[in-house]
Structure 1
Amino acid sequence: MDDWLVPDLNRAACTRCGLCVDYCPTKAVEMVDGAPVIVRPGDCAYCGQCEEMCPANAIALSYEIRPPATPRPKD
């Protein structure tokens, strides 16, 4: 099984409004049986649009992605 970096969906808090589906730029999220599911985890850009748009705060990006550190020049 592949380990993908995807947002955490709290199904208990989710109101099933579908905004996460509407705002996902890569279409990685779809409604399945009336609830959002990340059906294409490899397509998730981990951009945070779903988290930002969720009125119930049922989506969380648990990991912070940072650019690699720039090496300091040697003196």
Structure 2
Amino acid sequence: MSSHSDSNIATADALTLLLHNQHALAAAIEEITKWLSENGIQSVSDSALVAMETLDKNAQAITDAITRLRQL
């Protein structure tokens, strides 16, 4: 296995862990958003929803990068 390939694998593995963290953060934000919305704090809830959208968008980009690295 070449050094370049080892580097790609290590990078993909690190990105995978970051992606898992990102999913966990999104789940936590979703729970907080639900609580905020149920307790009448809609403006903060709306801001949390925007944060979740950003996490979702970036999660897809990270997933695409992991896929590309694993194909090399």
- Normalising by structure 1, report the TM-score: 0.24
Question: Rg: which structure is higher?
Answer: 2
Structure holding more helix per residue = 2
Structure holding more strand per residue = 1
